[in-house]
Amino acid sequence: MSDRVYKIQLPIFLTALLGILMVLEHFFPMPDVVTNFNITTRSFVTIVSAAALMLGIIFLTIAHVRTISQKKSEWYYSIFFIVSLLITIGLGLIGIRNESFLWIYNNMTAPIGAALYSLTAFYITSAAYRVFRARNWSAAVLLVCGFIVLMMLIPIGAIIFPPVVPIGEWIRSFPSSAGFRGMIMGTSLGIMGLGVRVFTGRQKEHLGIREERAGGE
């Protein structure tokens, strides 16, 4: 069997088979063997997804270890990463409901994560001041809608200008909703188009094959 069969063609065929069986099961009555196969493959996906996340952490660790061993720029920060990773994994392997494990997560990761995630509030305000201008009609529409909706959301906005609440809710429920509806329909068509392309083997990016190297691996 040539390399190409089991490295490229068989994966493409299996992608299509698994996907098409999933789709057919939903629209047509299928024999029990197909239904049971689909139930099993769906549960396999959860296992493989969990393993993929673990693998991602392994790759990140390898990158940091390389940074330390090769003494790359600012390698000493990676020591903090490795030490905190090992301590957390050690405690987690004892038990994910271990008190120390949960304490570290709740009181170290959670606050830092919340703080990092919330940094954008400051950047968004600074950017709005420097860049958010009604330079043309497009920008004006964006600015006015955003302004009205924010004013609607903050309680003091309704006190400063009471009609902002019904106006904001109308904008959110009708013109904005119509806009998003068009986008959802477009996205849905995109998913279906992508599925057809992947199942017919015209798109192989999920296998790590780019179109310009389609002849090779």
Q: Per CB under 8 A, does 9 bind other proteins?
A: no
Give the helix, strand, coil percentages of the chain, each rounded to 5.
80, 0, 20
- Per CB under 8 A, 163 contacts other proteins: no
CA distance 149 to 147: 6
Q: Does 215 bind other proteins (CB under 8 A)?
A: no
Count of residues interacting with other proteins (CB under 8 A): 141
66 counts as binding other proteins under rule CB under 8 A:
no
Residue 202 in contact with other proteins, rule: CB under 8 A: no
Spell out, one character per residue from 108 to 147, where the chain touches other proteins: x when CB under 8 A holds, - when not.
Answer: xxxxxxxxxxxxxxxxxxx-xxx-xxxx--x--xxxxxxx
- CA quadruple 175, 177, 181, 187: dihedral sign: positive
Identified binder of other proteins from the candidate list 9, 106, 161, 202, rule CB under 8 A: 106
Residue showing tokens 């004892």: 94
**Does position 179 bind other proteins by CB under 8 A?**
yes
- Residue 103 touching other proteins (CB under 8 A): yes
Minimum distance of other proteins from residue 91's CB (angstroms) = 8
Task: Report, in Å, the least distance between residue 135 CB and other proteins.
Answer: 8
CA dist 69 and 94 (Å) reads: 29
Buried b / exposed e across 130-148, counting CB within 10 Å, b at 16+? eeeeeeeeeeeeeeeeeeb
Query: Residue 100's closest CA among 90, 86, 115, 110?
Result: 90
Which of 5, 50, 65, 214 is the binder for other proteins (CB under 8 A)? 50
63 touches other proteins (CB under 8 A): no
